[in-house]
Amino acid sequence: MGHIGILGLDRAGVENYQITLGGDGSEDATLGERTGPGFADDQIVPAIERILHAYLALRAGREETFLQTYRRLGLAPFKEALYAA
């Protein structure tokens, strides 16, 4: 339900983290959309940083929240930033 969600998984004994975007826990509850392949534990913090940098570059003014930006633009620009590295 988080605007940016991190789901920890165990893949054959290896920790892996799946990122979801766009979740909303308000009265209009929405599950976040999976971004794609998961990340190893040493890659998750840089991955979240890439999402945040994309948000800061894409938002329409300082008052636009992450969720508002995500709803306006959709997954594509965030996914592009996330997997560009």
The per-residue pLDDT for 85 is 59
Cα separation, 13 vs 33, whole angstroms:
25
Residue 53, Ramachandran bin (φ over 0: left; ψ between -120 and 50: alpha; else beta): alpha
User: Which domains occur in the chain, in start order?
Assistant: 4-83 (3.30.413.10)
This prediction has a pTM of: 0.88
The dihedral region occupied by 12, where left means phi > 0, alpha psi between -120 and 50, and beta the remainder, is left
**Could you state, in chain order, the average pLDDT of each consecutive group of 10 residues for the chain (85 residues)?**
90 90 87 92 95 97 96 96 86
The residue with tokens 């991955």 is 47
C-alpha dist (Å) from residue 69 to 23, 74, 84:
13, 8, 20
